[in-house]
Amino acid sequence: MKDERAFRKELEETLQLNNNTETEPFRQQFHLTPPKGLLNDPNGLIQWRGIYHVFFQWMPFKTGHGSKWWGHATTKDWVNWELLPPALAPVQDFEKNGCYSGSAVVRDGLLQLFYTGNVKDEYGNRSSYQCLAVSEDGVHFEKLGPVISQPERYTAHFRDPKVWYEAGSWWLVIGAQRDDKEGHVLIYRSRDLRKWEFLGPLAGKGVTLSESFGFMWECPDFFELDGMRVLLVSPQGLEKESYQYQNQYQTGVFTGSFDSENATFSHGSFQEMDKGFEFYAPQTFEDEHGRRLLLGWMGVPDQQEDMHPTIKDGWVHCLTMPRELLHLQNGKIAQQPLKEWKQLRGAQQSKDIHVTAETVEWTEWKAIVAEINIEVEEGKSWTISWRDYLTMSFDAEYGVFTLERPDLISGEPAFRTSRIEEIHSLRCYFDRSSAEIFINDGEHVATSRLFPRKQEAKLRCKTHESIMFQVDAWELHSFQWSG
């Protein structure tokens, strides 16, 4: 076991070194970003006693992956934030190589965190332990150790427990890899959150699918949305296709129905949640207003992570904006920014941009941290570029939306394409180094990091025909931080 006091003192000293964010051109203004080191999966999302808790995977000592901590931030309104001491540090023998992802619930007045303890031996062989930590104040946590062990016929790639209460019982889903290298989601049930009954696989090849669908399913989430059952998961190992699975690893949903008596799930086909360059490992929760909220990691494992220019400033990655999930009639899920985001709005401008077979630049707009809403005429093709770095285009004849930015290694154009029958609106949130684009009121979303060399706001519209763009834009303020 490591000395936790010494470990946390080392962390404090690390955070005091070169922590000057004023000179960092890509430091985010309204996204959760690590003060130093590497951030990845959101964890333990919950609203407790009126406060939203956002935990996250954090390697504070370097900009590479390693023995993860649980970072911790809280907010009451999604605008004013407090950075708290890390909730979990990898100091016990059952977690010595990382306190990996998990979730949070409340029982008996205690905030209870479920997470994966990652252990590797001297030869790199992995062991995984599903662990529990509890807190009376939501700041200091007592570790109770492992509560679930690795099941037979599954490898040690067994992680990311998500817990919820339903039908008089506590339930848990977890990502797993069968010993034949097939990805599965497993399901457990408990009366007291301490003793867990393994009910078997919930989804995967040989359970709900006839064909292979990736070698590992990470960060599962299982919830009800307007009467529809949703399995949100990040499968690894899908083959790239023309209009889908274009990132190194994917995230999406299976929707269907859940039989809680038999712990079985029947579902339709997999639908990707995001069509951009960086989106992975999201987690959802229901807040006190009954909203199903989601945050994701604006990154992808093993996908040019070491090429992000923020590394020279000592940090890498961020979380997405929080989003509300809405059920659409066609069985799809829409994602929309929270209404609280309007609190960030500052100076506003509007403009009707009429383009006729040419390129028109909106020269009056100067803010690079902005919300820009664009209404476009249906049935027409167009191209919109932002800061000479990100290009969005729509081919109306073939129903294809394309996102383009420079490849982070070669600098050559890189693309993400998707099939969208028609586009009538784009709601774009631009931070210093990211874009989140909500298409058709969030029916489609494209999330990406941006690293333009020029710190200039340039919005250009182009078409080969006559078209009107109706644009409303707001400069966005930064989060306010304490702690």
Nearest alpha-carbon partner for 132 in 85, 168, 95: 95
Rounded CA-CA distance 199/169 in Å is: 13
278: tokens are 């960086």
CA angle 296, 119, 231 (to 5 degrees): 35
Which residues, in sequence order, are CB contacts of 402 under 8 Å at separation 6+? 391, 392, 393, 394, 395, 415, 416, 417
Of the candidates 23, 96, 81, 28, which has an alpha carbon nearest to the alpha carbon of residue 51?
A: 81
Output DSSP code: residue 9: H
Strands 51-59 and 196-204 turn out to be: unpaired
Choose among 362, 368, 356: nearest CA to 452: 368
Angle CA(129)–CA(130)–CA(132) in degrees, nearest 5? 125
Are 133 and 142 spatial neighbours (Cβ–Cβ below 8 Å)? yes
Tell me how far apart the terminal alpha carbons of the chain are, to the nearest angstrom.
29
Instruction: Supply the residues annotated as catalytic.
Output: 41
Token reading at 330 = 């066609």
CA-CA distances (angstroms) from residue 395 to 93, 121, 344?
55, 53, 33
Q: Measured on CA atoms in the order 412, 416, 417, 421, is the torsion positive or negative?
A: negative
Whole-number Cα distances in Å, 251 to 42, 182, 279, 281, 468: 14, 17, 7, 7, 34
